[in-house]
């Protein structure tokens, strides 16, 4: 095992050469950076979060770290540690900007067991102590738990206006199969409630977007390999209940996280990013829908090479910034960004 980890470490050091990373492995205090997510505040400031790790392992000493940009991603701040509890796993960041209070609200998990919320009132410059909300959103028979990892959303439609919805997934004691669900807050993250779960097992890390008709679309990583495609589910009641998850005929995947983003409600433009490949984490692609995710009319390649987890945000000028994991040998050499022109996104 030690030899294997040493070889992996050497490979990941080698693949950093010649690539421009926002978070670069073996720099700024961590050996590995994974699980990226990004949001934009009212001022246009970008905040990116990820996990700072000692190794590729998904457990152990893992911290949530952050960088910011005030110029559309042209330059970035130095790394700031947001949540560090010794050798515990602080992970699965799912941030959102609350338009009601101006706060940054970040949900995350401790050791994939406890669920916390962290808040910043000054665009991420300082953070309040994490609040444990596990009892409100995790039933006693649930075991493994993850928020996101991807941005959360704040709803804009009349019926559930300003509700914050966080995509999550869990396992149930005795059943080691993941199930997608959501949690939500109607008071700017002060209190939280458990939303609905998708009826199907083998649904996993998920992403949520508000549709132009007021419904919610949940797009899910899929471990049911009947088809190598993403799964999707619809909610018409603000995330309280979800339809039976069905395959998306266009969006194939190798079992990997993806990102869903509402670019515009009028006109209706929905964006999705993931490694568009049946077996390998490579070929990160932007898929564009003009009909609430029923079909994906356009697909634009972001990275032909190895690539994995990603997230997106819309810049002030209408362009889209994509934050994603990539590397030459493994798709985990670090986290980089790419700008996609708004002209490409629109019809």
The pLDDT value recorded for residue 6 is 44
DSSP 177-246: EEEEEEEEESSTTSS-EEEEE-S-SSEEEEEEEE-TTS-EEEEEEE--TTSSEEEEEEESSTTSS-PPPE
pLDDT of 26 > 80? The answer is yes
pLDDT of 15 > 70? The answer is no
Return the number of other C-beta atoms located less than 10 Å from residue 80's C-beta. Answer: 17
pLDDT tens sequence across 198-256:
999 999 999 999 999 999 999 999 999 999 999 999 999 999 999 999 999 999 999 99
pLDDT of 146 > 90? The answer is yes
The pLDDT value recorded for residue 19 is 56
pLDDT of 11 > 60? The answer is no
Domain containing residue 110 = 2-345
Domain count, the chain: 1
Question: In the structure, what pLDDT confidence band is assigned to residue 14 with cuts at 50, 70 and 90?
Answer: very low
The pLDDT value recorded for residue 3 is 43
Residues recorded for the chain: 347
Question: In the structure, what pLDDT confidence band is assigned to residue 158 with cuts at 50, 70 and 90?
Answer: confident
Mapped onto helix, strand or coil, the DSSP state of residue 13 is: helix
End-to-end CA distance of the chain: 51
Burial 268-283 (b: 16+ CB within 10 A, else e): bbbbbbbbbbeeebbb
pLDDT of 4 > 90? The answer is no
pLDDT of 20 > 90? The answer is no
User: Percentage helix, strand, coil, to 5, in the chain?
Assistant: 5, 50, 45
CA distance 130 to 16: 33
pLDDT tens sequence across 246-304:
999 999 999 999 999 999 999 999 999 999 999 999 999 999 999 999 999 999 999 99
Beta-carbon contacts of residue 6 (< 8 Å; ≥ 6 apart): none
The conformation of residue 77, written as its DSSP 8-state character, comes to P
Return the H-helix or E-strand segment holding 294.
Answer: none
Q: What's the mean pLDDT in 153-176?
A: 94
Q: What strands lie across the sheet with 229-235, from one edge to the other?
A: 203-210, 216-222, 229-235, 246-252
Contact 327, 309 (CB under 8 A): no
Q: What's the mean pLDDT in 86-95?
A: 98
Question: In the structure, what pLDDT confidence band is assigned to residue 16 with cuts at 50, 70 and 90?
Answer: very low
CA distance 167 to 137: 12
Domain CATH code at residue 278: 2.120.10.10
Residue 10 burial (10 A CB sphere; 0-12, 13-18, 19+)? exposed
Q: What is the mean pLDDT of the chain?
A: 94
The pLDDT value recorded for residue 282 is 98
- Full-model pTM: 0.94
CA distance 198 to 100: 29
């Amino acid at each position: 095992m030690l030899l294997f980890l040493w070889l992996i470490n050497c490979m990941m050091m080698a693949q950093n050469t010649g690539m421009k990373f926002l978070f670069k492995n073996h720099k700024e205090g961590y050996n590995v950076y994974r699980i990226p997510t990004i949001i934009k505040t009212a001022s246009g400031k970008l905040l990116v979060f990820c996990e700072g790790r000692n190794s590729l392992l998904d457990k152990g000493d893992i911290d949530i770290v952050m960088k910011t940009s005030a110029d559309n991603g042209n330059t970035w701040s130095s790394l700031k540690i947001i949540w560090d509890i010794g050798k515990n796993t602080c992970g699965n960041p799912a941030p959102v900007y609350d338009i009601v209070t101006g706060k940054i609200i970040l949900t995350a998990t401790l050791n994939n067991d406890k669920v916390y919320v962290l808040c910043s009132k000054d665009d991420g410059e300082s953070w309040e102590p994490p609040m444990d909300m596990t009892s409100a959103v995790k039933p006693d028979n649930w075991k493994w738990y993850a928020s996101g990892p991807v941005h959360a959303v704040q709803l804009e439609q009349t019926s559930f206006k300003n509700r914050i919805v966080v995509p999550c997934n869990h396992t149930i004691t005795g059943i080691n199969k993941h199930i997608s669900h959501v949690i939500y807050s109607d008071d700017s993250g002060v209190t939280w409630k458990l939303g609905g779960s998708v009826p199907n097992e083998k649904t996993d890390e998920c992403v949520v977007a508000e549709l132009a008709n007021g419904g919610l679309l949940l797009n899910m990583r899929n471990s049911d390999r009947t088809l190598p495609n993403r799964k999707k589910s619809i909610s018409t009641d603000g995330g309280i209940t979800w339809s039976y998850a069905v395959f998306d005929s266009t969006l194939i995947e190798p079992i990997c996280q993806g990102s869903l983003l509402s670019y515009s409600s009028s006109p209706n433009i929905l964006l999705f990013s993931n490694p568009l490949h049946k077996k390998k984490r490579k070929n990160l692609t932007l898929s564009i829908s003009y009909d609430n995710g029923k079909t994906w009319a356009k697909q634009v390649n972001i990275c032909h090479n190895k690539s994995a987890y990603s997230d997106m945000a819309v810049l002030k000028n209408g362009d889209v910034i994509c934050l994603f994991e990539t590397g030459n040998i493994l798709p985990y050499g670090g986290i980089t960004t790419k700008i996609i022109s708004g002209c490409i996104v629109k019809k």
